[in-house]
Structure 1
Amino acid sequence: MRRISHGFASAIFEVVYLGLATNLMLVLACLPLLVLVIGTDPAEMWPYLVVAAALAAPGCSAAFTVFREQGRNGAGPLRTFLRGYAATWRKALAIGAATAALLVVLLGDVRALASSAVGVVVVPLLLVLSVLALAVAILSLVAIAEVPIARLRDVLRAAVLLGVRRWYLSLVSLLIGAVQLALFANLPAIAAGVTAAAALYLIWANGRYALRPVLPAAEPLTD
């Protein structure tokens, strides 16, 4: 029987460590959201969930930074996560807050108009806009992880344009996110401790491919 090479075993260990370390940092960065989702009734606490979801956005952009920097500068995932958080948190928080506020308005209108006569026409449009808002937010978080110095206006413009033009890639990212949320609803420990990094990695890779027409040649994140 052929023995497993040291290089292969080392690569497997690095991938596992990357995933577990990223999951740990994500749990810490998104702790308010996790506590509210697990320990409260979302239907009653939704205003706080909206705020907590916005606060969780920098954790996602920091995780995307970890994936971007993997193997480039010798820094471990914990340090890279913190550096990515510091580099992107302002823009990520703005993206998260704007998206959360927009979704509150759109979904609130969906609920209010669902039983009305105009709801047949307006509700599908509002739902499409809600999906588009989520897709733009995901692409924007990937973009600021790739180019932290990019202007937020340029990031949002590119995310809207490519999110619509490459809608099929946006749907893939949203589907991955939906599967992760469904897993979290049923098995929160597994979702937060095992699969979160894998799901975000797939979303990052997909979003990075969607943004490829506007991304410059990537450079490692420096101190």
Structure 2
Amino acid sequence: MTSVRPRHDTINAVFDGVYLALASNMLLVVGCLPLVLLAFTTDATQSWPLYAIAAPLCAPGLCGVFGVMSAYSAGRSTTGLRTFGRTWLATARPAMLWAAAATALLVVLGVDARALWGHRAGALALPVLATLTVLTVATALLGLVAIAERPAAPLRDVARACLYLAVRRWYLTAGSLLVLALLAQLVTARPALGLGLAAAPLLYVVWANSHFALRPALDPPTVAPQTT
């Protein structure tokens, strides 16, 4: 009997994980529906202003998926829809403001890079703009994970902590960005495979890396009580 019980628990854990991954994929598509519709109906190179407008609207959905992953990691919770809805409502305003600020900065950096491309000044400015772009994406990603965990945190504090930790733990940041780039390539090449199967496992890696990088901010060290 002792050997049957662990095997039964393992099978349940596998089915719970598969169910939650499929549910997360569905919730991701629903939460990011504006971008999904644009991706299937427009050319990104020609319609990038529409993408810039739609991106902040999808931020609460991504926070919702991160909330589902956090709840599952903490207690094997499989109430994905309820957790997603609760996180979406709690993070809607800060997540959209955060994503709007990051998107605006990325648009400015992209326009500057386009204007300097092929000019002599670009040889010096373009590497700086590329570095700022990577830092912006990394900080924005960490910020969405932080907002999913602490929706009431002031965005100024989120920006300061996430920028510092994105640089301080650059190896985790680099891993998350590489996985995110892989997901973007997969969704572009095989949308059904990317959104239907691969999104949740790859985003879980991104969430786990980001959550670990944010531990100093999410779980500040406790001060031991002084003894007299």
Superposed pair shares fold, TM > 0.5: yes
Cα pair 2:20 2:78 within 8 Å, conserved: no
Percent identity for Structure 1 against Structure 2: 46
Aligned alpha-carbon RMSD (Å): 1.7
Q: Match of 1:166?
A: 169
Which residue in 1 is equivalent to 2:201? 198
The whole-number CA distance in structure 1 between the counterparts of 2:76 and 2:127 is: 47
Q: Give the number of the structure whose alpha-carbon radius of gyration is greater.
A: 2
* CA shift in 2, pair 1:202/1:74, >3 Å: closer
How far 1:75 moved relative to its partner?
5.9
Whichever residue aligns with residue 8 of structure 1, its letter is: T
- Is the 8 Å Cα contact of residues 55 and 99 (structure 2) preserved in structure 1? yes
Does the alignment pair 1:117 with 2:120?
yes
- Taking the aligned partners of 2:139 and 2:19, their CA distance within structure 1 comes to 30
1:11 counterpart letter in structure 2: A
Q: How far 1:216 moved relative to its partner?
A: 2.5
User: Residues 16 and 78 of structure 2 are in contact (CA less than 8 Å); yes or no, is this contact kept in structure 1?
Assistant: no
Q: Which residues in structure 2 correspond to 1:1-223 (within 5 Å)?
A: 5-70=7-72, 72=75, 76-216=79-219
Could you tell me how far apart the structure 2 residues matched to 1:162 and 1:86 are? 27
Q: Which residue of 1 aligns with 2:226?
A: none
**Match for 1:9: what amino acid?**
I
AA paired with 1:186?
A
- Ranges in structure 2 where 5+ consecutive residues have no aligned partner: 221-228
Q: Distance in 1 between matches of 2:217 and 2:169?
A: 13
Task: Determine the structure 1 residue equivalent to 2:225.
Answer: none
Query: 1:25 is aligned with what amino acid?
Result: L
Structure 1's unaligned 5+ residue stretches are 218-223
Deviates more, 1:208-217 or 1:139-148: 208-217
Matched residue, 2:224: none
SS in structure 2 at match of 1:117: coil
Code of the aligned partner of 2:59 = A
> What code does the residue aligned with 2:218 have?
L
What is the CA-CA distance between 1:74 and the residue it aligns to? 5.0
Distance 1:155 1:23, change over 3 A: same
The number of residues matched between the two structures is: 216
